[in-house]
Amino acid sequence: MGRLAALLLAPLLLGGCASVRVLDAAQPGAPLIYAGTRLDWYALHGGCCPRERFGAEAPKYPGLDLPASALLDTLLLPLSVATQLGIGVQVSGGN
C-alpha cells in the first residue's frame, strides 16, 4: 500500500498535478470536466499551447501525472459537472 501511495503522490512532488494547476488557473472557457487529465493528454500528444487552452502549463512529466490527475478528476467529477451546468455549490466552514 505504501508504494501505491508514493506512486500516486509522486506527480504532486515532481512539478505539480495538472488537475490542481487547472483548478487554480480558473480561466474562462477552459475545460472543466476532467481538465487535468485532458491537459496531461494534450501535453503527451504534443499540444502547442496549454496556457491558452487550459490556463496552465502542463506538468513536467505528464505521463507520470496522468494517473493521479485522472483519480483526482474522478473524485471532483460531481463538482465539475455542477459547475459546467451553472449550478452554484456554496460551501462554507466554521460556525
Average pLDDT of the residues in 5-24 = 66
The residues, any chain, with a CB within 8 Å of residue 75's CB and separated by 6 or more, are: none
Q: What percent of the chain clears pLDDT 90, i.e. is strictly above it? A: 15
Contact in structure between 77 and 33 (CB atoms under 8 Å): yes
User: Which pLDDT value is given to residue 13?
Assistant: 54
- Compute the average pLDDT of residues 58-81: 88
Residue type present at position 22: V
Residue 55 has pLDDT above 80, yes or no: yes
pTM over 0.95: no
Mean per-residue pLDDT for 13-21?
A: 69
Average pLDDT over residues 58-64: 88
